[in-house]
Amino acid sequence: MARRNRRPLIPEAREALNQLKVDVMKRQGYQVNENQPDEVKYEVAHEVNVPLQHGYNGKLTSEEAGKVGGPIGGNMVKELVRMAQEQMTRKQ
């Protein structure tokens, strides 16, 4: 199976999304390298006992992958919703 290409619809948004990931995961108590924010997934994986490694991880189950990606993406979405609600409140 081909590897998924995870590019934002607007390439210029990548830097802002990376910064959001850094901010959100730091607030969650993780050590995040600002130059490589995707590395936080290995810390999350270690915490939830998922054998995530650099390189190929095709033997991970969907459940294991979700245990790693869920907290990262879920917290990012929560923050985006909070920011949108705050912005809507200011406009009223």
- pLDDT for residue 17: 93
pTM of the model: 0.80
The model's pLDDT over 60-80, given as tens digits with 9 standing for 90+, comes to 999 999 999 999 999 999 999
Burial 37-63 (b: 16+ CB within 10 A, else e): beebbebbbeeeebebeeeeeeebeee
> Which of 69, 80, 57 lies closest to 3 in space, CA to CA?
57
Sequence-ordered strand ranges (E) for the chain: none
- pLDDT for residue 78: 96
Asked if the model's pLDDT at residue 12 lies above 50, the reply is yes
Asked if the model's pLDDT at residue 9 lies above 90, the reply is no
- The rounded distance, in Å, linking the Cα atoms of 88 and 91 is 5
